[in-house]
Amino acid sequence: VADQGDGVWVSLWETDQLARVSADGEVTMIDLPAGSEPHGLAMAADGALWVALEAGYVLRLPTS
């Protein structure tokens, strides 16, 4: 999912991670707790990233 800073967020469910790829190709990894298995991503109007987890939770991640 695209963010307001021209980056793209992707979920890496097999490794329990999120990744942000900036417009210039820089990759930032975020580790989540084991078993989280992030799937769905949505960007809110306030810039927060919402992440649906296989574990049955929803995570709100401020991105600014």
Say whether 43 is catalytic. no
Q: Which pairs count as long-range contacts for 33-40, CB under 8 Å and 24+ apart, including other chains?
A: 37/13, 38/11, 38/12, 38/13, 39/11, 39/13, 40/11
Q: Are 18 and 29 in contact (CB under 8 A)?
A: yes
The active-site residue out of 39, 44, 57, 58 is: 39
Q: Which sequence positions are flagged as catalytic?
A: 39
